[in-house]
Amino acid sequence: MTAQILNGLIVGSMYALVAIGFTLVLGVLDRLNFAHTEVFMFGAFAGLVAIDAGGIWWLALPFVFVVGGLFGMAVEFISFRRFEGDARITAALSSLAVGLVLIDLTQKVWGTEPVGMTIPGYVTTAGFELFGMRVVYVQLLILGVTLALMASLHLLVSRTRMGRNIRAVADSPAAASLLGIDVRRVTQDVFFVSSALAGVAGLLLAFRTGFANTDVGLTFGLKAIAIMAIGGMGDLRGAVVGGLLIGVLEALTFQFGVGKLGELVVWVTMILVLFVRPEGLFGGGVHVKDVRA
């Protein structure tokens, strides 16, 4: 049981990392970036390149952070920059198309089958006993990296000048621009950060499973979109808690032997949340305020 919960927290922390990216772009810029899930997917393959190039395996993490971020900026340039205001849906669709292209090109290079990733055994299999439960080092690595990234993001948003600009744009892009804030620059920053997190999450998932897989964007990655809604659209804290919650719930349902039906948990939860509390877990979702349809 505790082992299941630990497992759930680990999967959940990766969900959270992807959901944070979704909710950051939505909360600050009011944009839905569908290419996000595929940047997440590509994170594993970028890591593969870094590791195969003979570098030190853990250097793949910062490498993927940067590559993911650059992909995010590219997506912003291709799919979002030209569309403003009412063209929100158009931009979302354009990013969806970019995502499809990214999947197809990745499959052209690496094939459609999962590709094995070589990481030292002392990370992936070695571990220790804790309260009668086996903990593998890779689990600690995943928890450590995600926690560190979330903490840094929190500091970035709450304590830095860049964070202050981000909050100003989230409040009102027009007002921010009047205050002399370079909205385009902030937009790029937000895309960079959100996609960088997604890329790292993709690599961490590959560390855990041992494979880079072109399917994960549309399966694992898309769940993050539901988690964003559960936590409240645009609510960072909600994305973290929602991710962990869904991770644990999924792990527990698998435990109870409902098999693949456990995959339903996240979607059913999302629909229930929409019914009962559309503003999300903490009511911090900025996008339902004052909406009375």
Partner 1 sequence: MIQDYLFFTGINILLAWSVYVVLLTGNLSFAQGAFMAIGCYAAGIMTTRYGVPLAVAVPAAMLLSSAAAVLVGFPALRVRGIYLILVTVGVTFCVRIALENVAYTGGVEGLKGMSGTRLWHLGAAIAAVGLLLFLLSRSPLQRILDAVREDDRVAASLGVNLTYVKLLAFGAGAAIAGLAGALYGHYLIFVRPDNFDILVSIFVVLYVILGGVNNMWGPLLGATVMTLLPEFIRALQDWRPTMFGVAIVVMLLLRPEGLLKFRQPSARWSGHAGR
Partner 2 sequence: MPVADREEPPVLRVEALAKQFDGLRAVDGVSFDVARGEIVGIIGPNGAGKTVLINLISGFYPATSGSVHLAGEDVTSLPLHEIGRRGIARTFQNIRLFRRMTVLENVLIADQRHARRPARAFFAFGRQRTEIARAARYLELMGLAARADRLAGTLPYGEARRLEIARALATEPKLLMLDEPAAGMNEEETAELVQDVRRARAAVDAIVLIEHDMSLIQALSDRVVAMDYGRVMAAGTPAEVLADPNVQRAYLGEEGGP
Residues that bind partner 1 (CB under 8 A): 26, 32, 78-79, 82-83, 87, 89-90, 92-94, 96-101, 103-105, 108, 218, 222, 225-226, 228-229, 233, 259-261, 263-264, 266-268, 270-271, 274-275, 278, 287-288, 291, 293
CB of 54 to partner 1, least distance (A): 30
Q: How many CA atoms lie within 13 A of 253 on its CB side?
A: 16
Asked whether 8 and 57 are in contact (CB, 8 A), the reply is no
> Using CB atoms within 10 A of its CB, is residue 68 exposed (0-12), middle (13-18) or buried (19+)?
buried
CB of 53 to partner 1, least distance (A): 26
Q: State yes or no: residue 180 binds partner 2 (CB under 8 A).
A: no
Q: Which residue has the tokens 């992909």?
A: 71
CB of 125 to partner 1, least distance (A): 31
55 phi and psi angles, rounded to 5 deg: -75, -175
Q: Residue 96 binds which one of partner 2, partner 1, none, with CB within 5 to 8 A depending on kind?
A: partner 1
- For partner 2, the closer CB: 1 or 293: 293
Q: Residue 290 binds which one of partner 2, partner 1, none, with CB within 5 to 8 A depending on kind?
A: partner 2
Residues 254-293, interacting with partner 2 (CB under 8 A): 290, 292-293
Instruction: Write the DSSP assignment of 22-85 as a string of letters.
Output: HHHHHHHH----TTHHHHHHHHHHHHHHHHHTT--GGGHHHHHHHHHHHHHHHHIIIIITT--G
- For partner 2, the closer CB: 86 or 129: 86
The packing angle between helices 265-276 and 222-231, to 10°, is: 30
44: Cβ–Cβ under 8 A, 6 or more apart, which residues? Answer: 117, 202, 203, 205, 206, 211, 212, 213, 216
Alpha-carbon distance of 197 to 236, in angstroms, equals 13
Residues 9-38, interacting with partner 2 (CB under 8 A): none
- For partner 2, the closer CB: 137 or 282: 282
Q: Residue 183 binds which one of partner 1, partner 2, none, with CB within 5 to 8 A depending on kind?
A: none
133 phi and psi angles, rounded to 5 deg: -125, 140
- For partner 1, the closer CB: 2 or 90: 90
Alpha-carbon distance of 81 to 103, in angstroms, equals 22
CB of 185 to partner 2, least distance (A): 26
- For partner 1, the closer CB: 13 or 106: 106
Which residues are at the interface with partner 2 (CB under 8 A)?
290, 292-293
